[in-house]
Amino acid sequence: MKVLALNSSPRGEGQSKTGMMLNHLVLGMRDAGAEVEVIDLRKKTIRNCIGCFTCWTKTPGLCIHKDDMSGELFPKFIESDLVVYGTPLYHFTVNATMKAFIERTLPILQPFFEESGEATKHPLRHEFPKAVVLSVAGFPEMSVFDQLSSWVRLIFGKSDTLVAEIYRPAAESMTASFFKDKAAQVMEATRKAGQEIVQSMKVSEETLAAVTQDFVRDKESFRKIGNLFWKTCISEGMIPKEFEEKGLIPRPDSVETFMMILSLGFNPVGAGDTSAVLQFNFSGDVQGACHFRIENGTIRATQGRAERPDVAIDTPFDLWMDILTGKADGQQMFMAQKYKVKGDLSLLMRMSQIFGK
Ligand SMILES: Cc1cc2nc3c(=O)[nH]c(=O)nc-3n(C[C@H](O)[C@H](O)[C@H](O)COP(=O)(O)O)c2cc1C
């Protein structure tokens, strides 16, 4: 099987979530024996269709433009058995680069009208390659893909070529250190989807469920963590790419968001057989208390004070957030008596082990 795998994201390698997903899909396709060429459309010149219909009249099957679409991409497109349309979701549909590519496939059609069911369609000039649509989105709900899905079913449905739709919501979370394990499961499932497509021209429900799995079950928590991320970018004067490259974590701005972020950072392997209760008593701009119960490789965060904590930390909220986000050194601040610790000091020494990045 000859496959053309397209990525229309304007982002470079490493940052494009479409690229991450596409690379794994392609790995699976190659595992199953397909011959796959991957093309980053951002590196190609694809001029907009100007609607002249030269490709239907004066030079049937040939576009008037002399660019990468005419010279390279369209010939590869019509020679493929299957095309993967990889696109970021922009304004709930394909992005402009992918739309330009799709419009420029017009020469594959003939101008004439034919009846198809209750509707009218154009006859094909060449066989239409089978289609897999892969898209990623920032929002966490699967419903963000509804419009795209309905559109691709319409355009590829007419030629009966749509093989699979692979959609990944909350895609930006895939590179957050908190979600490393879940992102790895998504990548593995995407690779499996690639194998299944080549082997059986469909993707099983089980594989799709693994691709679309929730990283954070309740959407309210997702929004809160997302907002912390954006607030941190703004206060640090950084775009998301710089935030990721520096390996930063979102800075909590309340006891509640601190509880979320610390719980997400819990490292069960590092915690081992630790069984302990950690208490935080915050003062300053954000006041309040919370505690974390760690046992059997799990963590449970609760507002308020615990009855018998193993260790209790009394600290200004801002100072602890500086320590958490790497802006201040915990040990130095302790020596300078900027915060106080009661109870098992060794637990404090093991914080960076119990809580990964
Ligand atoms: C111009 C623009 C429009 C976007 N529109 C949507 C949208 O409608 N829905 C959504 O969930 N995410 C939207 N996003 C977020 C992207 O889908 C998300 O960042 C995705 O990971 C980008 O894919 P990439 O990393 O492959 O470029 C938009 C992003 C941009 C820059």
CATH code 3.30.1050.10 for 251-354: yes
Mutate to test the pocket of ligand 1, among 16, 91, 148, 239 (most ligand atoms within 8 A of CB): 91
Residue of 139, 165, 143 whose CA lies nearest to 152 = 165
Q: Atom of ligand 1 at shortest distance to CA of 86?
A: 26
Mutate to test the pocket of ligand 1, among 87, 90, 144, 190 (most ligand atoms within 8 A of CB): 90
pLDDT value at 60 more than 70:
yes
What percentage of the chain has pLDDT greater than the value 70? 99
- Whose CA is closest to atom 19 on ligand 1? 138
In a 3-state reduction of DSSP, which class is residue 340? Answer: strand
146 Cα to the center of ligand 1, angstroms:
15
With tokens 């954070």, the residue in question is 216
Maximum Cα–Cα distance across the chain: 86
100 Cα to the center of ligand 1, angstroms:
17
Mutate to test the pocket of ligand 1, among 13, 16, 84, 89 (most ligand atoms within 8 A of CB): 89
pLDDT tens column, 212-256: 999 888 999 999 999 999 999 999 999 999 998 898 899 999 999
List all residues whose CB is within 6 A of at least one atom of ligand 1: 9, 11, 16-19, 88-92, 136-139, 144, 171-172
Place 309 in a pLDDT band, splitting at 50, 70 and 90: very high
Helix ranges (DSSP H) in the chain: 17-31, 68, 74-79, 96-103, 146-157, 180-200, 205-212, 219-236, 240-245, 255-264, 268-271, 317-324, 330-335, 345-349, 351-354
pLDDT, average across residues 305-331: 95
pLDDT tens column, 322-350: 999 989 999 999 999 999 999 999 999 89
pLDDT, average across residues 60-74: 98
pLDDT tens column, 132-153: 999 999 999 999 999 999 999 9
Query: For position 357, what pLDDT does the model report?
Result: 60
Domain positions in the chain are 2-212, 251-354
Q: Atom of ligand 1 at shortest distance to CA of 169?
A: 11
Q: Note the CATH number of domain 2-212.
A: 3.40.50.360
Query: For position 160, what pLDDT does the model report?
Result: 79
> How many other CB atoms are found less than 10 A from the CB of residue 276?
18
